Amino acid sequence: MNATSVTVAETIQWDRPVRGRVAMFGLIAAEAAIFSIFVVAYLFYTGKSLTGPMPKDVLSVPIFYTICLLSSSLTIHLAVSALRRKGVRGFAVWWFATIALGTAFVYGTATEWHRLIYHDGLTISTNLFGTTYYSLVGLHGFHVVVGLIALSIVMALTLLGNVRAEHAERVDVLSLYWHFVDAVWVVVFTVVYVIGR
Amino acid sequence: MSSDSIALPRAETASRPLVDALHGWVTTVDHKRLGILYILYALIFLVIGGIEAGIMRIQLMHAHNDFVSPQVFNRMFTMHGTTMIFFVAMPLVFGFANYLIPLMIGARDMAFPRLNAFSFWLMAFGGFLLYFSLVGANGLYGAGNAPDVGWFAYAPLTSRTFSVGHSTDFWTLGLLVSGFGSIGTAINILTTILCMRCAGMSLGKMPLLAWLNLVMSGMVILAISPLTAAQVMLLVDRYLGGHFFDTQAGGSAVVWMHFFWIFGHPEVYVLAIPAFAFASEIIPVFSRKAIFGYPVMVAATICIGFIGMSVWAHHMFTVGMSSSANTFFVLSTMAIAVPTGIKIFNWLATMWGGKIEFKTPMLFCVAFLFQFLVAGLTGIMLGAAPFDWQLSNSYFVVAHFHYVIVGGILFTIFGAFYYWFPKMSGKMCNETLGKLHFWLFFIGFHLTFDFMHIPGMLGMPRRIYTYEPGRGWDVWNLIVTIGVFFQALGTVIFVTNLLWSYFKGKAAGSDPWDAWTLEWSTLSPPPVYNFASIPVVKSRRPLWDLKHPNDPDWKYE
């Protein structure tokens, strides 16, 4: 018996989900599980530090930088919609705005950490608060930086003229990651600056 | 049988220089080659982990033995557990998934071939990193070499104070790296199953193996990630002076336990569900009947997936949780017996009234049915908190989970080897050697793990390196150790069989078992592109439809 062929000469309607989208949702699920563990640890250890400084003494709510990050979700959405409508120029502008807003957020975290370390004397090894705070906020910051690198690569490709309307779907997959990073900040913000303070 | 078309690809490989062939394997992104790499890699570690188990059993053969020092014994049980779970069971599961899923769903490769190769090499280097500790972990301290903190590495054993040198760091990094590989592969399997199915293969028409691996990959995504997070926390504690698990600074050792077992218990199902998948493919073919209760099998698997995520703290009854927590985890543990029981009944119902052929793959699957049932029964015993308070951390627990992992999972994996080896190599396995392997391993397994329950009930704790004579443990330990030699002999026969059959076995042809799923419709071994033209299916058993055009399945499904 030779290799049998199971082809049937009929055409049927056959739609399957987009690969990149499914994989990105898989990645987001995995990342969400990682963040959940860090968030649970943060909540569990809230108020269990044996020595100072305590959150209420040193933390101030980063309203401005939070607005920056959250509004970047809007700009990236506008960028992708522009690309869908073949507006590469509009895409480039909104995409750049997203990178700028994300960079502003990272700058905000950097200044906050600088103040905490040099002014308040809080490091990752100072007490339990320091350990959980730098880990959770740092893990989120790390994801923002990774996102910014990915966004910048797309920006560079755009400036070189390699991003066209047919890439809207792929760019949209990347925007899913960025939306996720923003959504995680809502959780981190609530846990660190509202509940934990 | 078109043996010409089967022999051709191998003749090509043989004529190429060895370096070229090796280069081809190292740089490959083909799902079949990566699957075989995963499997070979796992087999090497299976031998290593088996030798570690053998060393422990020789040490415990009789009272006051001094075959190895207590330090070496600690390293052996740590390395044995870590190796067998992360570098044997996981790569075996992923290897078969990689090889089979694209073939069974009528695709030419995985969704992301390069991610596939990247994930394999991450896992491979994770294993090398763990074993590099044997030479590299001394550091400047001269203390310890292989990790010796146990495979679940409870705090505070892993703190800098109690784990000097770098052995724990190699353990952490090895698992972290292989964990990233596992997540990558899981995302790949998930995407492949959802997005690469051939025309006509709706979710309800997928082979059960694809369904079960879909659930497995979902569980890997949700269960390995917490382990990754916990390992990052451990690294923060060890390298940056953090206090997550530092009880002196307000941290908690119990939090590590929770985080580890949130990974650790779903992991059991990550390994068991693919084992169920093998049984669900092999039992129908050798019973000459379609699987009984396909939709219920799928539903039961999804149930196991969900409940399996919520039972982890039954590993922690002796820690002293609140009574409401104990009750919750007792009930959820009991609940998981329901879908698992449904599966066992479905397999039995598949065999009921069938024309059963006891070929080697079927022998392993039948043994699996009974052994997995016993493992589940001792699981229910240990899942009752008061019983667990009595026997937790005894050899009863060790016997229980080896019954699950060896008696349940490893037996079906052996069955899968004998079932799919003809597809992978183009050659039939030797049936006599296969049966010899089965009986030796079967006898060895029961000598070892049946009798291991008894010293546990007599109070023998796990992980002790020796014991006093006259406690009634001696004779049982001797029997347990004797069983290991049978298992080792069985494994030697198994490897011999694989090698002999690869070189000398008779040609298999594309469909040696008269089976029904798509992988048997292409050549053995399949060409690089799998299918000359992408198949179109109308039922769960496309090859049945093809072989029985007058009585196809799709008329009844």
Q: What is the pLDDT of residue A11?
A: 61
| Mean pLDDT, chain B, whole residue set | 93
Q: Are B318 and B389 in contact (CB under 8 A)?
A: yes
d(CA B154, CA B162): 11
User: How far away is chain A from the Cα of B150, in angstroms, using its nearest Cα?
Assistant: 22
**B41-80 residues touching A, CB cutoff 8 A:** none
| B238-264 tens-digit pLDDT | 999 999 999 999 999 999 999 999 999
Q: Is B13 exposed, middle or buried (0-12, 13-18, 19+ CB in 10 A)?
A: exposed
Cα three-residue angle B19-B24-B30, rounded to 5 degrees: 165
Q: Look up the CATH number of the domain holding residue B515.
A: 1.20.210.10
Q: Do A3 and B222 touch (CB under 8 A)?
A: no
Q: Is residue B376 domain-resident?
A: yes
| Mean pLDDT, chain A, whole residue set | 93
Interface residues of chain A, partner chain B, Cβ below 8 Å: 1-8, 10, 12, 14, 16-19, 22-23, 26-27, 29-31, 33-38, 41, 44-45, 48-51, 124-125, 127-128, 131-132, 135, 139
Q: What is the pLDDT of residue B1?
A: 40
d(CA B169, CA B165): 8
Q: Percent of chain B scored above 70 by pLDDT? A: 96
Candidates B197, B187, B34; CA nearest to B528 is B34
| A105-163 tens-digit pLDDT | 999 999 999 999 999 999 999 999 999 999 999 999 999 999 999 999 999 999 999 99
Residue B144 pLDDT greater than 80, yes or no: no
Stretch among A131-145, B133-147, B431-445 having the lowest mean pLDDT: B133-147
Q: How confident is the model at residue A19 (pLDDT cuts 50, 70, 90)?
A: very high
Domain interval for residue B197? 25-555
Q: Do B236 and A135 touch (CB under 8 A)?
A: yes
Q: What is the pLDDT of residue A6?
A: 56
Q: Do A34 and B191 touch (CB under 8 A)?
A: no
Copy the structure tokens of residue B215.
Answer: 């659930």
Q: Is residue B54 domain-resident?
A: yes
Q: Are B115 and B184 in contact (CB under 8 A)?
A: yes
Which residues from chain B sit within 8 angstroms of residue A139, using beta carbons? 232
Which residues from chain B sit within 8 angstroms of residue A125, using beta carbons? 240-243
Q: Do A19 and B534 touch (CB under 8 A)?
A: no
Q: Is residue B168 domain-resident?
A: yes
B183 touches chain A (CB under 8 A): yes
Residues 6+ apart with CB under 8 A from B197: A16, B105, B106, B107, B206
**Which of B109, B188, B195 is best to mutate for the A interface (most A CBs within 10 A)?**
B195
Which residues from chain B sit within 8 angstroms of residue A140, using beta carbons? none
Copy the structure tokens of residue B336.
Answer: 């998981």
From B111, B232, B518, residue closest to A23, measured CB to CB: B111
| A152-184 tens-digit pLDDT | 999 999 999 999 999 999 999 999 999 999 999
**Which of B109, B114, B191, B254 is best to mutate for the A interface (most A CBs within 10 A)?**
B191
B184 touches chain A (CB under 8 A): no
CATH number of the domain at A61-195, please? 1.20.120.80
Q: Tell me the average pLDDT across B462-477.
A: 94
Higher pLDDT, B555 or B429: B429
Q: Is residue B6 domain-resident?
A: no
Q: Are B54 and B488 in contact (CB under 8 A)?
A: yes
Q: Is residue B294 domain-resident?
A: yes
Stretch among B16-20, B35-39, B77-81 having the lowest mean pLDDT: B16-20
* Predicted ipTM of the assembly: 0.92
For residue B113, whether the previous peptide bond is cis, meaning omega lies within 30 degrees of 0, is no
Q: Are B417 and B438 in contact (CB under 8 A)?
A: no
B235 touches chain A (CB under 8 A): no
Q: What is the pLDDT of residue B268?
A: 95
Q: What is the pLDDT of residue B139?
A: 57
Q: Tell me the average pLDDT across B479-501.
A: 96
Candidates A139, A130, A193, A192; CA nearest to B229 is A139
Q: Are A22 and B191 in contact (CB under 8 A)?
A: yes
| B211-243 tens-digit pLDDT | 999 999 999 999 999 999 999 999 999 999 999
User: How far away is chain A from the Cα of B225, in angstroms, using its nearest Cα?
Assistant: 5
User: How far away is chain B from the Cα of A86, in angstroms, using its nearest Cα?
Assistant: 27
Q: Tell me the average pLDDT across B188-201.
A: 95
User: How far away is chain A from the Cα of B506, in angstroms, using its nearest Cα?
Assistant: 15
Which residues from chain A sit within 8 angstroms of residue B251, using beta carbons? 45, 128, 131
Give the rounded distance of the alpha carbon of A114 from its chain centre: 22
For chain A, helix (H) and strand (E) counts, in that order, are 6, 0
Residue A12 pLDDT greater than 80, yes or no: no
Q: What is the pLDDT of residue B4?
A: 42
Q: How confident is the model at residue B205 (pLDDT cuts 50, 70, 90)?
A: very high
Q: Is residue B17 domain-resident?
A: no
- What Å distances lie between residue B528 and B83, B107, B248, B512, CA to CA? 31, 11, 58, 20
Q: Is residue B458 domain-resident?
A: yes
* Count of structural domains, chain B: 1
Residue B178 pLDDT greater than 80, yes or no: yes
DSSP string, B220-255: HHHHHHHHHHHHHHHHHHHHH---TT-GGGT--HHH
Q: Running DSSP on this structure, what letter comes out for residue B130?
A: H
Cα three-residue angle B473-B72-B478, rounded to 5 degrees: 25
Q: Is B462 exposed, middle or buried (0-12, 13-18, 19+ CB in 10 A)?
A: middle
